Amino acid sequence: MKPEEVKSVFHDALDQVTPVARSTTDDIVVHGRRKVRWRRTLTAGVTAAVVGIGVVGVAVAMPTAPPPAPAGEAASENATTGECAPVSGVAPGEPDPVAKMYQDALVAEAAEYSFLLPEYFLGDPRHDMPAEGFVYDPAACGYVLDTVAGFEGGHQTDMLAAFVAVYDPAEGDVADRMAGIAGCGEIDGECEWAQDAPEDRPRLLVDEVRRIQVDEDEGEPQPIDFRATLTALEDGTILHIEVSPQFGEGFEIGLDHTQLTAMLAAIPVGEEAPELPGIPGSENPDDETRLIELFLSATVAEIPGAELSDTDITFEDTGEDGIRVASTTLTVDGGEVVEIDLWSAPIDAPGDGGATEEPARHYAFCDAVPGTECVFTAIDDMTAGIHKTVPGDATELSAWRFRVDTAYNYGVIVRYADASGTPPIDFAQLDAIVDQLK
């Protein structure tokens, strides 16, 4: 499809419809003002709460205005965008070993106080959080983590909204920067410098109350306790952790300043980060190589007379949900050329529904193309199978295995490469291939 044809698709999709907004510009400005007030961006560039329009908002902490322009060796500035950038040199969106190192260290230390920072809370859209856990935020000039977490064995109401940041060194007096970040002088609460902290590594302890509109339907904003600890390193790096009860008024903060200080101290700023073990969500390289070898050998074994055009294939990351695809072609007995793909994808929350039809159909993309026929088979408690037929000039056949025991979904797909019709490979052969991918 050509670009101009894509534009035509977009025009068709929008044809004869006019978006009607449910809220006005005034609504946006009112919420914007509230957001500014909560975050106190005009005075400090700190953290506060977020409430969306038309949805139930939840108090969470986020970084806002960036600290003063970065300087020193710990940060660099993107010449094109003017934004800060991590010295790790990792491109935006790519896995960052420094972020992973920070997160692992913080999670481990927090667990010492039974404060669990589970992965599944990182990036919960209901809380307007970044999806990646600890990430480098160029607008904040630092690594930030914004999450909600609970205490081991605790009740849901014990949960805390937690914001953690490691701000790059910047120009200016570090104590002034810390006070600015905390909003000292502006807050309804206390800022206190720890007396036992070294002179070149000050520590600021903050306890305050913020009035936050947790629920748009609740009327008046609620007073919510916030506790924050900020520490500075000798190079001007500032570490910041802030917690508040996730469920607002009346709930206690189950962490004291000593514990918050220990969590910040655990973050290994300046240490060399270990290499990441491959792309998250995919098998490690050895497993991938083995999987492709199994796929190729099974293909040759199950399709008599088939000749593979290329056996030196690798997985290609689709960029979507960890789905990886390896493709090759084979020439069958009649001389026709058939494309054959191996799809591999990790299964989210494999224990949620078992090897049942609904998730199996989802992972086989049964609803992606109208007219697709999917036949489900419950193979055992842990494995489900799908036979899929996608109509088209070149009919596409595929066999899928949805395995909750390994939390992986595999599919073997065939279609004619340059001809119309149904490829001369049946589901029994595809089943035999996909069943060997273990």
Partner 1 sequence: MTPELEAEFRDYVAARRESLHRMAYLLCGDWHRAEDAVQTSLVKLYAAWNRTRRETAGAYVRRIITNTLIDDSRRGWFRRERVTLAPPESPVETGHDDRLTALSALSALPPRQRAVLVLRFWEDLSVVETARILRCSTGNVKSQTARGLEALRRRYTSESLTGAVR
Q: Minimal distance in Å, beta carbon 91 to partner 1?
A: 6
> Helix (H, G, I), strand (E, B), or coil: what is residue 437?
coil
Residues that bind partner 1 (CB under 8 A): 1-3, 6-7, 9-10, 12-17, 19, 21-23, 25, 27-29, 31-33, 35-36, 39, 41-42, 52-55, 64-65, 81, 91-94, 123, 125, 128, 131, 139, 318-321, 348-349, 358-359, 361-362, 367-371, 390-393
Task: Give me the sign of the Cα torsion angle 135, 136, 139, 144.
Answer: positive
For residues 425 and 305, is the Cβ–Cβ distance under 8 A?
Answer: no
Q: Minimal distance in Å, beta carbon 61 to partner 1?
A: 14
Q: Minimal distance in Å, beta carbon 31 to partner 1?
A: 5
Whole-angstrom Cα distance, residue 48 to residue 64? 8
Q: Minimal distance in Å, beta carbon 10 to partner 1?
A: 5
Q: Minimal distance in Å, beta carbon 306 to partner 1?
A: 24
Nearer to partner 1 by Cβ, of 16 and 195: the residue is: 16
CA triplet 228, 142, 165: central angle to 5 degrees?
20
Residues 6 or more apart whose Cβ sits within 8 Å of residue 376: 357, 360, 361, 384, 385, 386
Place of tokens 């690594």: 143
| Number of C-beta neighbours around residue 114 at 10 A | 14
Nearer to partner 1 by Cβ, of 261 and 372: the residue is: 372
Nearer to partner 1 by Cβ, of 23 and 311: the residue is: 23
Burial 52-78 (b: 16+ CB within 10 A, else e): eeeeebbbbbbbbbbbeebeeebbeee
Nearer to partner 1 by Cβ, of 22 and 334: the residue is: 22
Q: Minimal distance in Å, beta carbon 51 to partner 1?
A: 9
Nearer to partner 1 by Cβ, of 77 and 235: the residue is: 77
Nearer to partner 1 by Cβ, of 88 and 114: the residue is: 88
Q: Residue 58: what residue type?
A: V
